[in-house]
């Protein structure tokens, strides 16, 4: 198994893996415009996010998608793990753990004070996986979101 950064030529496979994750999560896959934005943003200068890939032999079987935020409390960056996904037929072989540990190493390399991510409440296998690694569920913080419609509405109310 090899963990490596995504290259431009990997993008079609990464899109397939993203589709696999979203299908697993019962969410719609990205449309054509979103796929174009993914490519643009991945290879922007500077990139808006980074992707690590897990290869088994010559097959890319998983990915970790991350970016950085900043903690004013710690006065350090935070690595935010947006997605981590391994094809079902390759689970249990260490690809997910290898991707996760690669993100941990990147967080350490970048001087991050922490690493954050979210898990769907029904995804018990992932919850157990993270808890076994020493992660803890934050019960005192509630996620909030403004979607594109709410952003536009709030912006136009000024």
CA 49 → CA 16, 41, 73, 150, distances in Å?
18, 7, 23, 24
Of the pLDDT bands very low, low, confident and very high (cuts 50, 70, 90), residue 6 is: very high
Q: Comparing C-alpha atoms, which of 134, 135, 99, 102 is closest to residue 117?
A: 135
The total number of structural domains that make up the chain: 1
Range of the domain at 120: 2-156
Cα Rg, the chain, nearest whole Å: 17
**What CATH number is attached to the domain comprising 62?**
3.40.630.30
pLDDT digits (tens, 9 = 90+) for 86-132: 999 999 999 999 999 999 999 999 999 999 999 989 999 999 999 99
* Residue 115, burial from CB neighbour count under 10 angstroms (0-12, 13-18, 19+): middle
Active site residues: 130
pTM above 0.85, yes or no: yes
Element (H, E) at 128: helix 124-132
């Amino acid at each position: 198994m090899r963990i490596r950064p995504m290259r431009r030529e990997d993008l079609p496979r990464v899109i397939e893996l993203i589709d696999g994750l979203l299908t697993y999560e019962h969410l719609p896959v990205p449309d054509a415009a979103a796929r174009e934005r993914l490519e643009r943003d991945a290879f922007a200068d500077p990139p808006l996010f980074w992707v690590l890939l897990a290869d088994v032999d010559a097959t890319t079987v998983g990915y970790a998608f991350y970016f950085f935020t900043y903690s004013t409390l710690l006065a350090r960056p935070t690595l935010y793990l947006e997605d981590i996904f391994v094809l079902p037929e390759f689970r249990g072989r260490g690809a997910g753990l290898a991707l996760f540990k690669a993100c941990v190493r990147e967080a350490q390399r970048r001087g991050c004070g922490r690493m954050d991510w979210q898990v769907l409440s029904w995804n018990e296998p992932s919850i157990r996986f993270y808890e076994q690694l020493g992660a803890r569920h934050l019960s005192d913080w509630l996620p909030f979101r403004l979607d594109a419609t709410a952003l536009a509405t709030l912006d136009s109310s000024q």
